[in-house]
A and B are shown apart, each in its own frame.
Chain A
Amino acid sequence: MPILTSTYQTQLLTYGLTLAIAALGFNLLLGYTGLLSFGHSAFLGAGAYAVAFMMRYLGVSSMELFLLGGIAFSAVIAALFGVVCVRHTRIFFAILTLALSQVLWTLAYKFFWITGGTDGIRVPFANVTLLGGLVSFPGADAFAGFVTSYYYYVLVVFAACALLMWVIVHSPFGKTLQAIRDNETRARFLGVRIWRYRWLAFLVSGIFTGLAGTLWVPLNGLVTPDVLYWPQSGKIVFFAVLGGFRNFFGPIIGAVTFNYLEVYAVALTEYWQLTLGVILIVLVTFLPAGIVGTTVRLAARLKRSRGASA
C-alpha cells in the first residue's frame, strides 16, 4: 500500500484499520450478543491513555509493551463496567454504558495533573519502537518511515484481530452468544448462564476496542479526553450500523468507509454531528442492514432472479 500511495493516504488507511478493530470489538456485543453499547469510547480511551501513562510515567517505548498494557487496562475497565452493565435489560444496558463512559471522561478531564486534562499527553512517535526495539524512528525526517512501518504493523495486528474474532464468533462461545441474542429465555432454559456469557462478551469486546485505542495513539501523537467523549462512542455505533451489524464484515467496511467519509466531508460542512445524526436516522429507517447487509441481500436477489429465468 505505501508503495502505491502517499504518506497521507497510508496514514489515513492505518487510522481506518484501527477503527475497524474497534468496530469488530463493538460488534461482538451488538451483532452477536444483541447488546447495544453507547459507551465504547471508554475502551478506546483506556487503551489510549494506557500508552500515554506508560510512556510518561514508566518510560516505556516498546510497542509490544504498549499493546499488553492497553489490553490489560481496558480489560480491567471492561471487567468492572461489565459487572454493572451486563445484568440489565437492553435499554438500561445502553444507558449505563453511555453514562459510565462519561464518568471516565469527567475523570480524565478533572484529574488533569495525572491525565494532562484538556491539553492531554503527547505520545511522540520518535519514542516508539516496534518489534521489541528492532525498529525505531529517530531523526527529524523519520515520519514517513514511521508511517510506512506502522502501517504494516497495524495491518498485521488487524489481520490477527479479524482472524481471532472470526474464530471467537464461530466457536461454541460465539454460538451461545447468538443463542442468547435470539432468544434469551430459551437459552436460559437450556442451562446457559446468561450473565456470565454476556460479561465475557463485554470483556472481549472491551479488549478489542482497547487494542484499537492503543494502536491509534502513536499515529495521533496525542491523547486527550476527547477520545472518551460520547461522540466517539457514537462514531463506533455508526460504523457498525453503516456497514451492517448483522454481518461479520459489515463493521469493518463501515469503519473504513466512515474514516474516509469523515475526512472528506468535514471539509464540506462544520455541522458534522448533524450529518451523522441524519445519516444514522436514514440508515436505521431505510437501510437497517447497512452497506454490506444490503449488498448481500441485493446479490442474493439477483442470483435468485437469474436462476429462475435460466
Chain B
Amino acid sequence: MEIVALQVLNSLFYAAVLFLIAAGLSLIFGVMGIVNMAHGSFYALGAYVTAWSVVAAAAAVPTPVLFLFLPLGAAVVALVGLVIEPTLIRPFYRRPEEYQLLVTFGLLLVLEDVIRAVWGGTPLTAGQLVDSLGLVRIGGLPYPVYNLLMIGVGAAAALGLWAFVYRTRFGVLLRATAQDRRMAAALGIDVGRIYILAFGLGCFMAGLGGAIVVPSQAAVLGMGVEVLVLAFVVVVIGGLGSLEGALVGALIVSALRTITIQFWEEIELAALYLIAAIVLLIRPTGLFGRKS
C-alpha cells in the first residue's frame, strides 16, 4: 500500500516536469503558431547547464545556495531562446508550415550536437542536491524530500503561469496576440516583442523542467528527443495551445507511465501512444484543445 503512495508521488514529480515542458510548448504554439521541434533540446540544455554549474560550484558554494542554480539554468536557456527567436524563427512566420518545422528540426540537430560538443558523452549528475535534503518516511518507506519539494515547485509553476496569463496585463497582451495577431497589432500591441518574450518564457519553462529533473536523473545525450516524444503525447492528449490541457495531460501521461513501468516496462511508450491514438480518435484536438 505504501508503495502505491510512493508511486503516486513519483508520478506527480514527473508530471511536474512534463507540465513545464508541455506548457512551454503549448505557450509557444498558442501565441506564435509554431511547434518548436527543438523544445526538448532546450530541456536537455537546461539539464546540462544546471548539472554542470552545480558540479562546478559545489566546492565553493554552500549546498542551499546551489538550489539557485536551478532557475539560473532555466534563465540561461531562456536567453538562448531570446537570441534564437529573432534570428531563426521570425523569418519563417509567413512561410509555409513545412519550413518552420524544418528549421526547428535543424535547430534540434544543432543543439543536440552542441550539447555533445560542450559536455561530451558522459552523463552529468547533480545528485548532491537530492542528498542534501534527505529522506522522509512515508508509511514507513523512505522518500526523497527533494521530490516533494519539486512537486511543490511544479504546482507553484502551474499556478504562477495561470496567474501570469490570466491575471496580469502582459497576460492579456499574450492572449490577445494568440487569439488574433492582426487585431492585436492594429490595436498597437508590439507583436514582435510579445513573440520574443513568449518564446523566451516557453524556453525558460523547458529549461526549468530540465533543471528540476537533473538532480534526480542524470543528464544524458538523447534526453531531449526522448522527452519531446513524451511532451508530444501530453499535448496531444491535453490539447496543443492549452495550459489546462498541459496540466491534465501531464498528470494523465505521468500516471499512465508510472503504471506501465510498474507492470510491463517494455511497452511503456507504445502504451502511451496507444492511449494518445484513442484520444485523437475521440477528440482530435485533445481534451482541452482548440483549432489554431
Q: B141: CB under 8 A from chain A?
A: no
On whether the beta carbons of B110 and A281 are closer than 8 Å, the reply is yes
- Which B residues between 231 and 245 are near A, CB-CB below 8 angstroms? 232-233, 236, 240
Residue of B nearest to A281 (CB): B106
Contacts of B91 in A (CB 8 A): 285
Closest residue of chain A to B34, judged by CB?
A: A91
Q: 1/0 per position for B102-119, CB-CB distance to A under 8 A?
A: 110111111111101100
Q: Which residues of A from 79 to 129 have beta carbons under 8 Å from B?
A: 84, 87-88, 90-92, 94-96, 98-100, 102-103, 106-107, 110-111
Please measure, in the bound complex, the distance between the C-alpha atom of A87 and the C-alpha atom of B280, giving whole angstroms. Answer: 9
Say how far A177's CB is from chain B's closest CB, in angstroms: 15
Cross-chain contact A284 with B265 (CB below 8 angstroms): no
Whether B266 pairs with A98 at a CB distance below 8 angstroms is no
A171 an interface residue at 8 Å Cβ cutoff? no
List residues of chain B with CB within 8 A of the CB of A231: 109
A46: min CB distance to chain B, Å: 15
Interface bits A216-231 vs B (CB < 8 Å: 1, else 0): 0000000000000011
How many Å lie between the Cα of A100 and that of B269 in the bound state? Answer: 9
Residues of A with C-beta under 8 A to B268 = 106
Beta-carbon contact of B35 and A94 below 8 Å: yes
Asked if A99 and B109 make an inter-chain contact with CB atoms under 8 angstroms apart, the answer reads: no
B163 CB-CB contact with A under 8 Å: no
Nearest neighbor of B278 in chain A, beta-carbon distance: A84
Chain B, interface size category, equals: 35 or more
Verify A281–B103 contact, CB threshold 8 A. Answer: yes
Stretch of B54-62, B93-101, B173-181 contacting A (4+ beta carbons < 8 Å): B93-101
- Give the docked Cα–Cα distance between A98 and B106 (Å): 14
* A233: nearest chain-B partner, CB-CB: B105
A-B residue pair count with CB separations less than 8 angstroms = 114
Is the beta-carbon distance between B98 and A234 smaller than 8 angstroms? no
Chain A residues whose CB sits within 8 angstroms of the CB of B105 once the complex forms: 38, 234, 237, 277, 280
A88, A90, A230: the one contacting B284 at CB < 8 Å is: A88
The verdict on A30 contacting B98 (CB below 8 Å), with A271-B116, A276-B109, A281-B103 known, is yes
Q: How far is the CA of A237 from the CA of B104 in the complex (A)?
A: 13
Given contact pairs A95-B236, A234-B109, A273-B109, a sample of 4 additional A-B residue pairs in the complex whose CB atoms are under 8 Å apart:
A84-B277, A241-B102, A280-B106, A281-B88
Give 24 pairs: A residue, B residue, CB < 8 Å, sorted on A: A38-B105, A87-B284, A88-B284, A91-B101, A91-B240, A92-B236, A92-B240, A94-B37, A94-B101, A96-B236, A98-B232, A103-B270, A110-B265, A237-B102, A271-B117, A273-B113, A274-B113, A274-B114, A277-B107, A277-B111, A277-B112, A278-B110, A280-B105, A280-B109
